[in-house]
Amino acid sequence: MMKFFWILPLIFWVSESWCQVNGYAEVTSITGTTLNLSNVNQTYDAFEVGGKAIVIQIQDNVIGSTADDASFGDMGSIGSAGLYEVVIIASLNLPSSLTISGTLKNSYSTGTNSSLQIVTYPTLDNGGGNFTTTGNITAVNWNGNVGGVIAFKVTGTLTLLHNITADGAGFRGGAINNDGNSAVCTSTIYRIVAGTDYANKGEGIFNRTAGYQEAARGKIVNGGGGGNSHNAGGGGGGNYSSGGDGGPGWPTCSPSAGGLGGLALSAYISSSRVFMGGGGGAGEGNDGYSTAGGNGGGIILISANELQTTSGCSGVAITANGINAPNTSGNDGAGGAGAAGSIVLDIQNYNVDVACQLAVESSGGDGGDVNYIDTHGGGGGGGMGVVVYSIPTPTTYVTTTTDPGSGGANDNSGTGGSASSGDGTPGSGGGIVDNIETPLPVELIKFEGWSEGDQVVLSWSTATEINNDYFEVQMSGNGQKFVTVGKVNGHGTTREIRHYSFSHFNPNSGINYYRLKQVDFDGMVDYSKTILVDHTISFGPFQISIYPNPPADDLIRLKIFSDTDENAVLTLSSLQGEVVDSYEVDPDQLKNGIVIDCSSFPSGIYLLSIKQGNFFTMKKIILP
């Protein structure tokens, strides 16, 4: 489905160096096209009628075994976990609900062991459809209900001068539990209520609600298991690859009491299904030195026609790394690391400067070390994440890293070895998926029109088309009731820039409103923004064309078709009569078209007077 994105964002800058761009809400149930909500967070961006948003299944009831053995936490059916799609908001009844335009493509779950959220999907634009970062962009951390996702698009060029990071914004690591008193190795307990001798599990794509599943060494799908007594390490979280198992515990427990690493999800990952990194399990302790598991990385979804950097920076990064687990300061088990998250980059062109190279990374964190002479349990390393490119992996001044994290040392003497690292070979390129379509296409990058003789000429361009059958050109005299005046065939599915034009003959005299209705092969539709074209019927030998009005990029294009050879005087004034600029233009320039740069003028309504020979007229100009 092609999507037209024109909504400007509400961006909240939290400091000079960090900003966040998304709003979030938990979806508690779905009735037809109505999404019932709770935990609405619009601190940094607001849900808006006509705006876009992403529905994403964070957790689902995917667990396959709850038996108290090594099979606990195995995957059952993947269900809807990780699926996401872009929707259009038709109406709002916040904070209780919103309604979307059209039906959801995917089926989603809102049951007891599921978590579904909707995230705003703003179009960032600080001039001409382009966006230049002014601070580092980060996700709101996942809190068990909402967060963990960065999602935005740029219609034109994204100039990256700062970092974009979802490091540690994903599933949470297991919390510290220092209640243990046992000095006996316990290797056969895999799930139990937290409290004594068994450390907490990390979070994963199964929403654990039962108390007896809180603690002990069994993984919980891609969440790492907690260490068992005595002093075993927590397991690392999993995502594209599995997390490493925690260290054995004291005194060198055999079989190991360490937490099991979270499962690999690579078999389920696609361009339209991605996951947050699993949290690491906590280390088990009874002396006050055990450490918590590390958080997993979040999800980054970016769509743009082009990403560029400039020589003015020393390097930028897009990252969704898992977090290292803390080291112990004594004789207890250390936490497992968080797995890396997921990055989806639907960007058609990369223009990266050698002086400002781009690093894209989704790597697992390192497990915590044990700082004690005897062998206890280091934390397992986090699994690697995934980076999805819509084109072949860019390599010109772009590096992509998806490494697993290392296991933590079981002691500081160098004799006890280490916990297991996350699965996968560093530097192997595992976790990189490229040259595939995503649900985040960049599409309409220009739509404008102008009056020319007895017709209005419309011109538009697309950067990407997905299953695009055709466009209907629709016109209105009042901007509310539209009729179809033409049809232009699309290009199906393409990632090349495509240019279109259509001439509407004999339009109404005066203001005409136009929009595009885009129709997929499956019948689904979407609409462009509405533009207006002033088609003034000629007075004698004169025909005036001003487009677009209001201008989309602070530039007004003007043509005057005339049979006189006199220069024209153009004067731009405020409504109060104050002249803000004046121009004298010769006839050849007028016929070929001139451009007036209004970028230095404040927003508002202006009057453009045009005098050529005996002809004089005045036009209203709206500067957004």
CB 280 within 8 A of CB 335: yes
Tell me the per-residue pLDDT of 489-524, one tens digit each, with 9 for 90 and over.
998 877 677 899 999 987 877 788 898 988 888 776
* Confidence class for position 537, pLDDT limits 50, 70, 90: low
What is the percent of the chain where pLDDT is above 70?
A: 92
Whether 445-535 and 539-624 share one fold: the answer is: yes
pLDDT at 107 over 70: yes
pLDDT band at 373 (very low <50, low <70, confident <90, very high): very high
Secondary structure percentages of the chain, helix, strand, coil, to 5: 0, 40, 60
Average pLDDT over residues 479-492: 88
Torsion angle defined by CA atoms of residues 442, 48, 601 and 512, in that order, rounded to the nearest 10 degrees: 80
Assigned CATH for 445-535: 2.60.40.10
Q: In terms of Cα–Cα distance, which of 162, 124, 140 is closest to 20?
A: 140
Phi and psi at residue 592, in whole multiples of 5°?
-80, -20
Comparing CA positions, the residue from 256, 199, 255, 253 lying closest to residue 227 is: 199
Partners of 514 in the β-ladder: 475, 531
**Would you put residue 73 in left (φ > 0), alpha (ψ -120 to 50) or beta?**
left
Single-letter code of the amino acid located at 267: A
539-624 is a CATH 2.60.40.1930 domain: yes
Sequence letter at residue 39: N
Q: Is 311 left (phi over 0), alpha (psi -120 to 50) or beta?
A: alpha
Residue-averaged pLDDT of the chain: 88
**pLDDT tier at 624, thresholds 50, 70, 90:** low
Lowest mean pLDDT among 18-27, 375-384, 437-446: 437-446
Global pTM value? 0.78
Please report the sign of the dihedral spanned by the C-alpha atoms of residue 61, residue 62, residue 64, residue 66.
Answer: negative
Contact 345, 389 (CB under 8 A): yes
Q: Parse the chain into domains and list their residue ranges.
A: 1-442, 445-535, 539-624
Instruction: Output 468 or 557, whichever has higher pLDDT.
Output: 468
Between residues 13 and 167, which one has the greater pLDDT?
167
Rounded mean pLDDT of 384-397?
A: 96
Lowest mean per-residue pLDDT among 27-41, 241-255, 359-373, 481-495: 481-495
Q: Of 81-95, 415-429, 504-518, 535-549, which range is least confident?
A: 535-549
Please determine, for residue 605, whether its predicted confidence score (pLDDT) is greater than 80. Answer: no
For residue 456, the 8-state DSSP code is: E
In this predicted model, what pLDDT tens digit does every residue of 116-127 receive, in sequence order?
999 999 999 887
Q: What is the CA radius of gyration of the chain?
A: 29
Question: Residue 480 has what pLDDT?
Answer: 77
**CA 134 → CA 18, 442, 570, distances in Å?**
9, 22, 37
Name the burial class of residue 556, with classes exposed (0-12), middle (13-18) and buried (19+) by CB atoms within 10 angstroms of its CB: buried
